[in-house]
């Protein structure tokens, strides 16, 4: 290891603050990186506030050359992942990877993760997961010319070179697709009329006045509809509580729907304004003017893009056309609200049941995110 380069476990609030602020320096010239809120990042790395710490062992590392930070990463052992994927109990995870274009620092950071995971019984390292498959996931490998949508990652192209040099290889790709208002020609209108015409299916907006009741169905639908998906682990009660608190201010009932069959909740679709357009203006701070800028963009001038966060149908109600109906309703309302486009994702590369209807409406794949493995 060259003189001046050190990689150490993060300990104490001073290290945490350097860890959090490093990306702000790394991406200072990037036109597409969206600064997170500093207060949100502090909460995310706070064991008392982030529910993932309740079931995972988490260790951040920081790389320095002299006094300057040149990279960060976090190692994670996820006990719940092992419970729901017993054949992969041996898998450990890494995430929050950021690094200068410095091959030695990259290798040292990833080696620190590998050593930490191996010492705790892992024989495979997988990532980036920030921190779980229910959070921001994957490394951007295609689509660098656009801003990320809310809750999606962004990184320099050279990170893929860092990962390949360390022996990490693809285990799964995730896609994001774009639906443009100008490209939608009513392709789903006949399907919508047919599904509604049978008389069994209805669509209603999410009821924010009964938010906690609605969340109960969101959780049930997520747990059943996504149960067989690669990497799936159900939310804990506290994880859903934290996520719901963060997302509720963004929920617009005109873009969030419950599909019902014979009066019973059967499917969920949630799209939100792409708040990253406001976050970019805030530059990491809510005060003194960051909150005003975010709210102004979302509530006054309006976001130009929406992101479809979730679309799921309970297994017993599949093949009734609910997925296409919910997509149609989202597009119809989104266009009337002035959105120019929507990002749908992420979607697993082999999820043909979701990808096929999107290609039918001229959706275009705009980004690819990759999850990597390496044997230890």
Q: Residue ranges of the domains in the chain?
A: 5-173, 179-370
Q: How big is the chain, counted in residues?
A: 376
Residue 14: burial class (beta carbons within 10 Å; 0-12, 13-18, 19+): exposed
DSSP secondary structure, 204-215, as one string = EE--GGGHHHHH
Asked if the model's pLDDT at residue 301 lies above 50, the reply is no
- 216-235 confidence digits (pLDDT tens): 998 999 999 998 899 999 99
Q: Is the pLDDT of residue 329 over 70?
A: yes
pLDDT at 283: 59
User: What is the Cα–Cα distance from 96 to 58, expressed in whole angstroms?
Assistant: 11
Q: What pLDDT score does 278 carry? A: 73
Q: What is the tens place of the pLDDT at every residue in 154-173? A: 999 999 999 999 999 999 99
For 164, residues 6+ apart whose C-beta sits below 8 A from its C-beta are none
> Can you tell me the mean pLDDT for 8-33?
96
- For 163-218, write each residue's pLDDT tens digit: 999 999 999 999 999 999 999 999 999 999 999 999 999 999 999 999 888 989 98
> What's the whole-number mean pLDDT along residues 272-297?
58
User: Cβ distance 31 to 13 under 8 Å?
Assistant: no
**216: part of which helix (H) or strand (E)?**
helix 211-225
- In this predicted model, what pLDDT tens digit does every residue of 61-109 receive, in sequence order? 999 999 899 999 999 999 999 999 999 999 999 999 999 999 999 999 9
Given a cut of 50, is residue 280 above it in pLDDT? yes
Residues 104-154 pLDDT 10s: 999 999 999 999 999 999 999 999 999 999 999 999 999 999 999 999 999
Q: Please give the structure tokens belonging to residue 268.
A: 């969920």
**Amino acid 206: pLDDT:** 95
Secondary structure (3-state) at 115? helix
Q: What percent of the chain has pLDDT over 90?
A: 79
Question: 5-173 — its CATH code?
Answer: 3.40.630.30
| Predicted local confidence at residue 364, as pLDDT | 95
Q: Do domains 5-173 and 179-370 have the same CATH topology?
A: yes
pLDDT of residue 293: 40
pLDDT band for position 250 (cuts 50, 70, 90): confident
Average pLDDT over residues 41-52: 95
Instruction: Provide CATH code, domain 179-370.
Output: 3.40.630.30
| The model scores a pTM over 0.85 | yes
User: Nearest to residue 5, comparing CAs of 143, 128, 153, 112?
Assistant: 112
């Amino acid at each position: 290891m060259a003189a001046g380069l050190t990689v150490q476990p993060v300990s104490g609030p001073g290290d945490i603050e350097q860890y959090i602020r490093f990306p702000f320096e790394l991406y200072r010239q990037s036109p597409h990186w969206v600064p997170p809120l500093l207060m949100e990042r502090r909460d995310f790395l706070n064991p008392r506030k982030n529910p993932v710490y309740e079931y995972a062992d988490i260790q951040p590392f920081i790389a320095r050359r002299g006094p300057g930070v040149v990279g960060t990463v976090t190692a994670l052992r996820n006990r719940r992942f092992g419970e729901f994927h017993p054949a992969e109990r041996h898998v450990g995870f890494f995430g929050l990877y950021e690094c200068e274009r410095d091959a030695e620092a990259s290798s040292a950071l990833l080696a620190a993760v590998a050593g930490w995971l191996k010492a705790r019984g892992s024989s495979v390292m997988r990532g980036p997961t920030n921190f779980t498959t229910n959070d921001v996931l994957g490394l951007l490998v295609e689509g660098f010319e656009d801003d990320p949508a809310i809750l999606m990652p962004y990184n320099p192209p050279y990170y893929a070179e860092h990962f390949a040099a360390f022996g990490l290889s693809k285990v799964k790709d995730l896609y994001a697709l774009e639906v443009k208002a100008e490209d939608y020609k009513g392709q789903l209108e006949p399907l919508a009329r047919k599904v509604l015409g049978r008389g069994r299916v209805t669509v209603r907006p999410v009821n924010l006045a009964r938010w906690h009741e609605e969340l109960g169905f969101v959780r049930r639908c997520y747990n059943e509809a996504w149960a067989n998906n690669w990497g799936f682990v159900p939310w804990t009660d506290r994880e859903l509580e934290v996520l719901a608190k963060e997302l509720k201010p963004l929920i617009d009932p005109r873009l969030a729907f419950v599909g019902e069959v014979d009066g019973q909740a059967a499917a969920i679709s949630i799209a939100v304004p792409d708040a990253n357009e406001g976050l970019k203006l805030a530059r990491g701070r809510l005060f003194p003017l960051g909150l005003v800028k975010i709210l102004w963009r979302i509530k006054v001038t309006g976001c130009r893009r929406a992101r479809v966060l979730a679309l799921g149908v309970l297994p017993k109600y599949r093949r009734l056309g609910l997925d296409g109906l919910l997509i149609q309703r989202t597009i119809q309302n989104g266009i009337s609200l002035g959105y120019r486009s929507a990002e749908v994702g992420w979607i697993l590369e082999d999820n043909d049941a979701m990808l096929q209807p999107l290609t039918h409406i001229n959706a275009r794949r705009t980004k690819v995110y990759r999850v990597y493995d390496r044997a230890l």
